[in-house]
Structure 1
Amino acid sequence: MKEELYIDNKPVDLGSGTNVTLSYKSNFLSDVSKIVSNNSYTINLPLTARNKRVIEGAHIPSCSTRFPRINHAGRYVRNGVELISKGNVSLLEINDGIDIALSWGNVTKFASIVNDNKTLRDLSYDETSYISWIRPSSGAFFPPMYFIDYGFKDTDETIWYHPCMSVKSILQRIQEDCGVTFNIHSRSDMLDRLIIPLTTRYDSDIVSEGSAEELVFANRSYRFDSPIGYFVLFESREIDNFYYAAHYLTNEVSGTFISGIRNKFKNTKYRVSGQMKFKVSGEYENLSLTGYLMRRYGDDDMFTLFSASGTIQGDYYVIEIDSETDVLDCTGSNHLMYFYLTGIASSATTVTDISGSITIQAVAFPTPAPASGDDTINNRYYYIPNLPDIKQIDFIKGVMSMLGLFAIPGDDNQIEFYPIEYILENKSRKYDWSKYLVSTYMDNRPISMSFSYSEFAQNNVYAYDEDDYGKYSGIIKVNDETLDLEKEAITLPFIPTETNGDKAYIPLYTYDDEGNLQYDEDDDARILLLPSVNSTKPTFIGLSWPELIDKNYKGYKSIVAEQKVINVSIRIREVDLKDLDMSIPVYLSQYGKYYAIVSIQVGENGICKCELFQLED
């Protein structure tokens, strides 16, 4: 047998004792989070001059090469057939030889989705990734708004239907962020109709963090406003962002200063942090930096927004500020955020040698604007910050489980998603390896045979989150009394949604005794189904597990009802391994059965150890 191995397109020497054992894995019947790349067992290369050059002298302790710390392109040729054309090689260890590992059908980028614990809200977006949340004068519905009963009255002009996001578009964003490609080979009709209602009203972190501005305290005599305290000013600079703008005070003698902050939107709150340091002489009690919302003229309608006290440190009084205001509902130049040093009884107490700064950052919660417009309302509804706070991998697992699809790794970070029916329908394209079967026993029996696969029970429960009474749960049965009676097979990260008449019911809004609209934040993940792609009334109809199992798990139920897994040795030709498709079943005439490939271990002389799952007729 002739073998050739290339690292970064450079040939390496294979010693007489070098074994290249390849392992193919199909992820058969497993969820997508358990998908792994095909890989070799550890390959030990001899320490020849050529191999030392290829690894850039990494065998020398004083060598500073990065070769061991990065992945390298790998190719493997056996008997003139290139079995692996786009592999990854990593250097494991230097001992009496060079230990490397080879992987292909690479899913390293997908592994980052599994391992990094990123949520849907971690998906990338920019400042333009929002919809203008407007209540149209006609009351018309159009995507991404859908007719869902949120609990408010149709006649209430202060609120409107929340946006939704299609499952397909969320999957697309995950692919773009992680550099993977999902090839979904079935169930497109249902996938195209799945949507995620966005039930929260969060602002964009990107825009909010971009609003952070530093205000440097002005070191000058402060005006005393009795009975409040000393009026605080800041060094002048231009501040005018999406949320707020600086208000200025000009004195012919002293110059121009920032005297306050003009809030632009209702439903806005501020985070204030920083330090103020100064010397104080005279009487004071509970000396604090306090923020007020005040009318520009007169001190009536004055509201405390935050207050931070300090401590004496040597000759200075130091105030550390880390506060968050309540939600402001006043806008415009008549109401401003002012800052005072409070706790001072009179102007006889002096404040000097002032230094430090504060940073302010705003968050404006989105609110639907009337069709005629309203400049005091932030109606930018950002999609990503309002997606369910669930892990990306749990979202993928949940959607693919609902569709009854399992994953197979492909080349170039592609993941192939197939239903079990796809394997069953591929019997006409079967791999007939009957004449290559290597007999272990006189009666042609397999090397071994087991009667259960994976972790099944007699009753395998498929459920939704928080469905405590199992109203929407379903069961797939396995006809095997030796198994545990019951286990939880899958619990989706979504909660069920009740249906009110012909539409979904999500109780986000209620009214108090005085008829005022109340928003009850709902951070639970939900998923809904449109009756047709052009429908505007999504519901939960069709998404209960009994309905999903009946529609998407027919083939799955038939093959897991009575399981049989065999291990056999087959002499598989290199040309068959080169284009091996895990979605095509194997036929063995010795047993008169078709089998799904679970794994293939390719050893010396072309003898392969194969684990095969029997497909019942």
Structure 2
Amino acid sequence: MRDELYINNQRVDMSESGINLTFRSNLLSDISKIVSNYSYTIKLPKTANNMRIIGGAVLPSSESDFPYIVHSGRVLRDGIMIVDNANVVLLSIGENIEITLSWGASSNLQELVSGNAKLRDLPFSDDTDKVVTSVLPGSSPMMPYIDWGIEINESTWNAFNHPVLTLSTIFQRIKNKYDIEIVYPESIEKIAGLCIPLTSQNVAEQNQIDEKRTFYVEKELTNNSQDRTFVQLRKDGNQYCYIGDFEELQNVGIYANHIDIVCDMDLHLIVYQEITFPYGYVVPLLFMGNEYTGETLSEEVIDTNRTLFKIKYDIQISGVDLSIEPNIEQCLRFDLIKASTLVYTSSSDNSYININPHVEDLRQGATFYFSANIPDLKLTDILKSIKNMYGLYVTTEPGKFIYHEYKEVYSKKSVAYDWSQKLVSKVNVPNTTEYRLDEIAQSNLFKYKEDDTVKGLYDGVINVNDKTLDAEREAYTSIFAGTDEYGKPSNSSYAYIPIYHYNDSGEVEYDDVEPRILYRQYNRTWRTTFIGLGWEALISEYYGSYIDFITKAKIITETIKLSPVDLKNIDLYIPVYLRQYGTYFAILEIKTGDNNLCDVKLLKL
């Protein structure tokens, strides 16, 4: 048996011990542990060739980045490639060069599964991932019927309707960011209809930008009358401020009757005036209501002669608090001191006034941006929740994360490997036999996250008839809470998530809740439901083959002679048949050894 290892397409020098590899299936693995199959640490001799390949990284003065990046590797046994597209990492250099070799998952899949990537880290754009809350509930797939705790009608849906984020959208965003396709069985069509309701009401930065109003000062501001405000503002669209002429005060104010909340105002006004000598300067004054703000208005004499002054006023104000209400006392005005000698006034092209409301709560008609309201959930936990809800196991391929039903293993008996002739033992007794799987108890509890607003009971249990096991364990607790149903569960009922309630004064108040997962469907209107998602229902419908796996388990370990060709072509999810025992087994693990002798762990089907 001759092993060859290539790192970055360069053949390394090997010791006589060769390479021992571990091939491990994910049939009973947690998602966080499916990152890859892996080898034991490989020790390479410190030959000149190997030192060259690692860039002389042994020297403290070396600036080689070889120890800090992942390298490509492949393994050949007797000239046959048994591992391709492996990841090689340098661990340490002592008497030998120690590396690890892992394969079976790409680095981007490792980043997705083993990292702390969160749902809100996916590429959500405020340009596209948004909804207008005024959409009638049930009329849009993004705004399906959900009972939010108060009556949704024409006066409340604008502010109190919330969208949902579908699992299909999440899977697509994962593909966009990580180039990993999430594949699930066509037989479980409900996965495509799962959604996460966005129950928060956070204001996005874009909401602040949406509410900003900018007004530009008219170019020509000629005014020779007395006691008149010279600033005239354009009305830009029906949603912008109204410019009113208040005759009783003989001025023109900035009057924003469409904004009923406190806001900031930023102003940059450059005004040019021509006045006749010797009557002095004509100073523009900034008023808030009837009170002068006391702001300093910088002035600069641009040109002068015996009869005419040309003066520039540069007025810059930022952060003026202004409560905009429909009355003259709260308007912003620019007044002139009495001056019958004013000849001409004009503004520069860059004169403007910005109104920036303080948006603290989503108002009726506001845009609901996903970016500010995505739940704080890890992507790994979402993928786990799908695996556990539908009793699935996971395999990986380059660029793919694939869910499978356990019954697939049983269905492949017709193409099972017959390793009867490869079994080394001649006594028809396994090397070792175990009778229980790790982390299995007599009662295996499946739960939803606790939430005080949920009244129903949605937990479930898988019982295993084995008195030698621990009495009880918590098999899985979802990151989501269960959800009650509005009305008696039926084809027309829908989910009930009471995030709103009426206080004693009849005003609507908001309450936060735990994240939820629902099934969205269309029946004349779009609606969401939790029917069929309780653990008892899920276990009853989807866990039959898994229960067969864990009930009265028998795990044997045998020595089986597997050639390099066997290892190259192995599919860990195809069963093995051993005539000596007259039964089929699922492969759990293969550890290679010398002379092609492998320790194989098998689970009786």
TM range (shorter): 0.7 to 0.9
Query: Highest Rg: 1 or 2?
Result: 2
Match of 1:600 in 2: 590
Match of 2:49 in 1: 50
Aligned pair count reads: 492
TM-score, reference length from structure 2: 0.73
CA pair 535-207 structure 1, distance change in 2 beyond 3 A: closer
What residue ranges of structure 1 are gaps of 5+ in the alignment?
A: 213-239, 246-259, 271-294, 300-322, 339-359, 370-378
1:431 aligns with 2:417: yes
| RMSD over equivalenced CA pairs, Å | 3.8
Q: Distance in 2 between matches of 1:506 and 1:5?
A: 57
Match of 1:527 in 2: 517
| TM-fit CA distance, 1:70 | 0.8
More moved, 575-584 vs 533-542: 533-542
Match of 2:501 in 1: 510
| TM-fit CA distance, 1:382 | 1.5
- Please, which of 447, 462, 474 is the counterpart of residue 463 of structure 1? 447
Q: Is 2:261–2:357's contact at 8 Å kept on the other side of the alignment?
A: no
Match of 2:309 in 1: none
One-letter identity of the residue aligned with 1:388: P
Q: Equivalences for 1:120-519 in 2 at 5 Å?
A: 120-136=119-135, 141-160=139-158, 161-204=161-204, 296-298=288-290, 365-369=361-365, 379-412=366-399, 414-439=400-425, 443-466=427-450, 471-501=457-487, 502-516=493-507, 518-519=508-509
| TM-fit CA distance, 1:166 | 0.8
| TM-fit CA distance, 1:336 | 8.1
One-letter identity of the residue aligned with 1:406: Y
Q: Is 2:8–2:71's contact at 8 Å kept on the other side of the alignment?
A: yes
| TM-fit CA distance, 1:368 | 4.1
CA pair 60-512 structure 1, distance change in 2 beyond 3 A: closer
Match of 2:308 in 1: none
| TM-fit CA distance, 1:458 | 0.2
Q: Distance in 2 between matches of 1:83 and 1:266?
A: 71
CA pair 328-610 structure 1, distance change in 2 beyond 3 A: farther
One-letter identity of the residue aligned with 1:426: K
- Please, which of 544, 565, 572 is the counterpart of residue 575 of structure 1? 565
| TM-fit CA distance, 1:604 | 1.9
Match of 1:109 in 2: 108
- Please, which of 552, 572, 576 is the counterpart of residue 562 of structure 1? 552
TM-score, reference length from structure 1: 0.71
Q: Is 2:137–2:157's contact at 8 Å kept on the other side of the alignment?
A: no
Match of 1:235 in 2: none
More moved, 30-39 vs 472-481: 30-39
| TM-fit CA distance, 1:331 | 10
Q: Distance in 2 between matches of 1:405 and 1:540?
A: 20
One-letter identity of the residue aligned with 1:366: L
| TM-fit CA distance, 1:498 | 0.9
| TM-fit CA distance, 1:244 | 12
Q: Percent identity?
A: 36
What residue ranges of structure 2 are gaps of 5+ in the alignment?
A: 213-235, 242-253, 265-286, 292-318, 334-355, 488-492
Q: Is 2:55–2:66's contact at 8 Å kept on the other side of the alignment?
A: yes
Q: Is 1:262–1:335's contact at 8 Å kept on the other side of the alignment?
A: no
Deviations along 1:443-496, one digit per CA (max 9) or x if unpaired, are: 221111111112011010111111799811111111210111111111111111
Deviations along 1:335-355, one digit per CA (max 9) or x if unpaired, are: 6899xxxxxxxxxxxxxxxxx
Q: Distance in 2 between matches of 1:395 and 1:263?
A: 46
CA pair 499-22 structure 1, distance change in 2 beyond 3 A: same
| TM-fit CA distance, 1:51 | 1.7
